[in-house]
Amino acid sequence: MGLREAIDSGQFLITGEVAPPKGCHFEHMVEEAEHYRGRVHGVNVTDIQSAVMRASSLVGCIKLKEAGLPPVLQMVCRDRNRLSLQSELLSAAAMGINEVLCLTGDYTTLGDHPQAKPVFDLDSVQLLKAAKRLMEGRDMAYYPSRKDPTQMVDGEPLEGDPPVFTLGCVVNPGAEPLEPQIMKLRKKIDAGADFCQTQAVYDAGVFERFMEKLGDCPIPILAGVVVLKNPMMGRYMNANVAGVTVPEWMIEALADKETRVEKSIEIHGKLVAELKPLCQGIHMMPLGWDKYVPRILDLAGIGPVA
Amino acid sequence: MTATEQKTREEILKMLENDETIFIVGCGDCATICQTGGEVEVAEMKQFLEESGKKVSGTLIPESACQVLDVARLLRQQKEEVAAADSILVLSCGAGVQSVVENLKDKPVHPGCNSLFIANTKRLGQLHEWCSTCGECVIDEYGGVCPITRCPKGQVNGPCGGTDQGKCEVDPEQDCVWTLIYQRLEHVPGKEKVETTLYGAKNFDAGRHPRKRVFEPRRGG
């Protein structure tokens, strides 16, 4: 069952995440995604994540689809203007990739090409609206009519049946202040988002506070779980990732190299179990530890997806 | 005003490597406030160039280097010093440099500064970019605080996920403009509107380079 059907039938949603290679060979990415088979409703393919140059999300999605896995196309606003973003959406639909996660994107200077021109022609709300508009069979075109220049052309019609998308968005539940984050999430929902995946959560209490502040929400929220692999990664995230706090006890628990993997699986299994009753899904971001995701889900009492 | 910084001495010498005699132009306006092309800096540059083995045939500090015709008039007044120079070094923003270029058809003109931004000055030596001349002012929607300029991503519908503790992920020294907008909207009307409006895509054609504005100046008085 794909993400669309799972959302419509009100299932507890599970998604995973893989990253395209910095190179032109996708075999390893597809191998990693294999671990998700039968366990998730969708596998996100990141879009030049952290502004570190890589092969494209769209091709990654095509590779997953060829392998019979359900891709979710991530699209960020950092690298393309509205012409290119709409074009990519149409191209995705043409390849049968209909699940799209719309994000602003990390700023260029956070990555490995800090001198690159940041685009940000649209923001995530406007990208969602653009995708929704394509679903209605027209684009964002807006220019003076050639017949009557006093009249503006507001959207050019698309040829043939319009594309169909299931649109996702993101939110950072740990950011302070929280009020503007929730305000923007509400705009994303108004703009047409069908589901929401969150930034990494390590403290179920913080996430619960976010869900309480959010209140009634018409779309499913998938709590984001970035698998902590070692203490260094925890310290790095605490120092560098906005709104993400890895508790000290968790960092200490992974100190011993010998027991690290087992400890990590246990900790994240428990975390997912704690998050599960608070929301409508889990988004796993294992950063290469994809092979342990089934065990984490098992520990949290989440079996194979229908 | 336009914020500027001087290029490094090494960069300046590299630009001037084939020139023996230099004429220096400063600016009595922004570059004076920025301490990059005022009287003191022009004198310092003259001394530096002379110590580096160059000759300085003359200096000139127009009231505002961006006034093309005024620069023309002043250059004519120092015609001989200008003619004696192999090139001109201008200590002002890029607009000032091009005022000189516009007036000296056959003389190399070098920029001595980098133009940075339209600056608000809080105190001397503290310059901030609050307006980026996008050509279509939207700040009435945001309590008068510009999200296009004061957010690296120009986020008009709310903050990105990279903000925390009111700061910006791109530069943790900077406030997240959305925290500033929310603080401001505690005191002035507009919060509900900003929270419920889905602002559309910006018209970047309003900022298409090169821009010009021609108007009929008011006469008399």
pLDDT for res A306: 77
- What angle (nearest 5°) sits at the alpha carbon of residue B17, between those of residues B65 and B56? 50
The amino acid at residue B69 is L
Q: Residue B220 — very low, low, confident or very high, per pLDDT cuts 50/70/90?
A: confident
A238 Cβ contact partners less than 8 Å away, ≥ 6 residues apart: A244, A245, A246
Angle between helices A82-94 and A124-135 (to 10 degrees): 50
**Residue B164 contacts A where some CB pair is shorter than 8 Å:** yes
Q: Give the strands of the sheet with B55-60, arranged side by side.
A: B55-60, B21-25, B87-90, B109-111
**Residue B198 contacts A where some CB pair is shorter than 8 Å:** yes
Instruction: Report the CATH number of the A11-164 domain.
Output: 3.20.20.30
Neighbouring CB atoms inside 10 A of B67's CB total: 17
Q: What is the mean pLDDT of chain B?
A: 97
For residue A10, pLDDT beyond 90: yes
Task: Kindly report, residue by residue over A72-95, the tens digit of the pLDDT.
Answer: 999 999 999 999 999 999 999 999
**Residue A143 contacts B where some CB pair is shorter than 8 Å:** no
Whether the CB-CB separation of B63 and B28 falls below 8 Å is answered with: yes
For B63, list phi and psi in degrees, rounded to 5. Answer: -55, -50
Chain B residues inside the 8 Å CB shell of A104: 153, 155, 160-161
pLDDT for res A68: 97
Dist. CA B17–CA A149, nearest whole Å: 54
**Residue A133 contacts B where some CB pair is shorter than 8 Å:** no
> Which of B141, B149, B160 should we substitute to test contact with A (largest number of A Cβ atoms within 10 Å)?
B160
Whether the CB-CB separation of B200 and B138 falls below 8 Å is answered with: no
Whether the CB-CB separation of A56 and A20 falls below 8 Å is answered with: yes
Q: What is the DSSP code string of A95-141?
A: TT--EEEEE----GGGSS-TTSPP--SS-HHHHHHHHHHHHTTB---
Task: Kindly report, residue by residue over B71-115, the tens digit of the pLDDT.
Answer: 999 999 999 999 999 999 999 999 999 999 999 999 999 999 999
Residue A179 has its nearest CB partner, among B152, B169, B182, at B182
Chain B residues inside the 8 Å CB shell of A129: 198, 200
Domain ranges of chain A: 11-164
> Percentage of chain B with pLDDT > 70?
100
Chain A residues inside the 8 Å CB shell of B163: 172, 175, 180, 242-243
Cβ–Cβ gap A104/B155 under 8 Å: yes
**Residue B131 contacts A where some CB pair is shorter than 8 Å:** no
A174 Cβ contact partners less than 8 Å away, ≥ 6 residues apart: A199, A200, A201, A203, A206, A210, A243, A244, A245, B164
> Which of B145, B156, B157 should we substitute to test contact with A (largest number of A Cβ atoms within 10 Å)?
B157
CA-nearest residue to A122 within chain B is B201
CA-nearest residue to B178 within chain A is A180
Residue A187 has its nearest CB partner, among B152, B158, B163, at B158
pLDDT for res B219: 86
Q: What tokens does A116 get?
A: 């690159």
pLDDT for res A154: 96
**Residue B108 contacts A where some CB pair is shorter than 8 Å:** no
pLDDT for res A140: 98
Cross-strand bridge partners of residue B200: none
pLDDT for res A1: 77
Cβ–Cβ gap B158/A125 under 8 Å: yes
Cβ–Cβ gap B160/A104 under 8 Å: yes
CA-nearest residue to B156 within chain A is A123
Cβ–Cβ gap B154/A120 under 8 Å: yes
DSSP β-ladder status, A221-226 and A281-285:
parallel
For residue B38, pLDDT beyond 70: yes
Dist. CA A104–CA A117, nearest whole Å: 15
Task: Kindly report, residue by residue over A221-272, the tens digit of the pLDDT.
Answer: 999 999 999 999 999 999 999 899 999 999 999 999 999 999 999 999 999 9
**Residue A126 contacts B where some CB pair is shorter than 8 Å:** yes
pLDDT for res A92: 98
Chain B residues inside the 8 Å CB shell of A118: 152-153
CA distances from A61 to A134, A178, B121 (A): 20, 33, 49
**Residue A120 contacts B where some CB pair is shorter than 8 Å:** yes
Please give the average per-residue pLDDT across A182-203, as a whole number.
Answer: 98
- Per-residue burial over A123-142, b if 16 or more Cβ lie within 10 Å, else e, is bbbbbbbbbebbbeeebbee
Cβ–Cβ gap B198/A140 under 8 Å: no
Cross-strand bridge partners of residue B108: none
Cβ–Cβ gap B161/A120 under 8 Å: no
Whether the CB-CB separation of B184 and B190 falls below 8 Å is answered with: no
Chain B residues inside the 8 Å CB shell of A120: 153-155
Task: Kindly report, residue by residue over A92-151, the tens digit of the pLDDT.
Answer: 999 999 999 999 999 999 999 999 999 999 999 999 999 999 999 999 999 999 999 999
Task: Kindly report, residue by residue over A282-295, the tens digit of the pLDDT.
Answer: 999 999 999 999 99
Chain B residues inside the 8 Å CB shell of A184: 157-159
Dist. CA A199–CA A280, nearest whole Å: 15
Provide ipTM, 2 decimals: 0.94
Please give the average per-residue pLDDT across A181-191, as a whole number.
Answer: 98
Number of CB pairs, chain A paired with chain B, less than 8 A apart? 92
Task: Kindly report, residue by residue over B128-177, the tens digit of the pLDDT.
Answer: 999 999 999 999 999 999 999 999 999 999 999 999 999 999 999 999 99
Interface of A with B in 219-278 (CB under 8 A): 242-243
pLDDT for res B221: 59
Q: Which of B91, B32, B24 lies closest to B54, judged by CA?
A: B24
Walk me through the domains of chain B, giving residue ranges and CATH numbers.
2-116 (3.40.50.2300), 134-200 (no CATH)
Whether the CB-CB separation of A50 and A106 falls below 8 Å is answered with: yes
CA-nearest residue to A111 within chain B is B170
